[in-house]
Chains A and B, each alone.
Chain A
Amino acid sequence: DPELQIENEHLRVLFDPRTGLLREIQNLAKGFSLPVSQGFYWYNASAGNTQNPQASGAYIFRPNSSTPIPVAKCATTRLLKTPLVQELHQNFSAWCSQVLRLRPGQPYLELEWTVGPIPGTAGHTWAHLGTLGAGQGTAGHSWAHLGIAPRSSSSHLFCPPWQDEKLQLTVLTDRSQGGGSILDGSLELMVHRRLLKDDNRGVTEPLNEPGSDGRGLVVRGRHLVLLDTAAASADQHRPLAQEMTMSPSVVLAPGAGPHLRQVSGEGLW
């Protein structure tokens, strides 16, 4: 598809045909768009040195450089367009992939990422981040002196005004993640990490979850991205955050199952 893009009645999402990475999000209902790039980066954790023996750990992020390294500068992609869903599959590496989805009627872009097992190499340890760079938004004022602070449900980036209306890019997470806005217009969320050295803070073992097969954990999760005016954003992201936290539970039954007509709250009690 020469024009790598997915859309529904609310959003059109464009991708760079050369790199396969996210390039722009357009709000079709309101007629504005925002250049947005997104990818997966990693930081080299600190193993401690003569100046400062403190190694990275669960309490202290302390990467040995504040510049994240891209897992890959481009992704191999596969586009799927059907009446029920339009999605772009991105593969960054053997242990980092993502699917971006738009479904009819949903005013948000879903990013389902799968990261791991992170290959640990002697001495090097990695922390993974999914990061979003949106226009020239203002850097978030992090309340933790380290700039990386827990994001328990959502993060927002305020973007340059459009027709005097402030735009807002909102990212909803399906679990608490370390995150920060280190550079103006960027938002970083830590989706996975693997450390091979203890941080000497009492646990006396590195934060290195080998998983049941010893190769390291594979983590899969979702981020929902909304782009709207700042005035309209709360109405969108608050109910959505509730649905992410208290999502419906699915139960299956063989055959015709129970005669559960649509039983609603009042009928239930």
Chain B
Amino acid sequence: TGDSSVLRKAVAVAQHHDAVSGTERQHVANDYARQLAKGWDCCQVLVANALSLLGGTKCPFVFCNALNISMCPLSETADHFTVILYNPLARRVAWPVRLPVRGSSYAVTDPEGQPVASQVSLDPTNPPNPPHPPLALGAPGELLFQAWAPPLGFSAFGVKQLSPADPWEPPERPSG
């Protein structure tokens, strides 16, 4: 069961001036982060339940929390997946999607099944066979496309790999 009250309580606790300004001891800061992370996990279950209800499906949903350092096990290994965008604003938004991938070309389709312009930009700091382990052990390339979502709503984009999968397996992930 999903439960948004865990995050609500964690955010309420983090209204303390220490949490807002970072004037607490390290172990207290770690505990604020732990509570927020736990609240985030419970909300992801809630969003997954909502998506299952709306889509009439029980398929598993994957939340990639490390997209800002180009890490997402699903997009790095799957040759066919769906990207769902939830827009919390009361107006339509366009949003650039960047996902770490191993292939060099993909077909992206919008919610109406129409093709969407996309490209894979190879990240030279993450070559397929890195001479030295880069800071973020990510995939060799990033899939870019411009997505959009309706007001207070979802939209789903299909992604299919076109190029043969380059021989690349995600390295062991650093824990944490």
Contact = CB atoms under 8 A, between A and B. Distances in A.
A141 interface: no
Given A103-B146, A248-B87, A260 B54 contact: yes
Contact of A251 (B61, B91, B153, B174): B61
Nearest to A267: B153
Q: How large is the interface on B (under 10, 10 to 19, 20 to 34, 35 or more residues)?
A: 35 or more
Interface in B84-101: 84-91, 93-97
Interface string A66-85: 00000000000010101111
A252 B81 contact: yes
A259 B176 CA distance: 33
A28 B110 CA distance: 31
Interface in A39-61: 57-59
Nearest to A97: B125
Contact of B75 (A249, A252, A256, A262): A252
Nearest to B58: A258
A248 B85 contact: yes
A162 to B, nearest CB: 29
A248 B95 contact: yes
B158 A251 contact: no
State the majority secondary structure of interface residues on B.
Answer: mixed
State the majority secondary structure of interface residues on A.
Answer: loop
Interface string A236-265: 000100110011111111111111111111
A2 interface: no
B111 to A, nearest CB: 4
A139 interface: no
Contacts of A207: 22
Interface of B: 21-26, 29, 47-48, 51-52, 54-57, 59-64, 67-69, 72, 74-75, 78, 80-91, 93-97, 111-112, 117-119, 121, 124, 135, 144-147, 149-156, 158, 174, 176
Given A250-B85, A257-B82, 7 more contacts: A59-B21, A207-B22, A252-B63, A257-B55, A257-B81, A258-B54, A258-B156
22 contacts: A58-B23, A59-B23, A82-B144, A84-B119, A85-B96, A105-B94, A204-B25, A205-B25, A209-B29, A220-B68, A243-B95, A246-B88, A248-B95, A252-B61, A252-B81, A254-B81, A256-B158, A261-B112, A263-B154, A265-B150, A265-B152, A267-B153
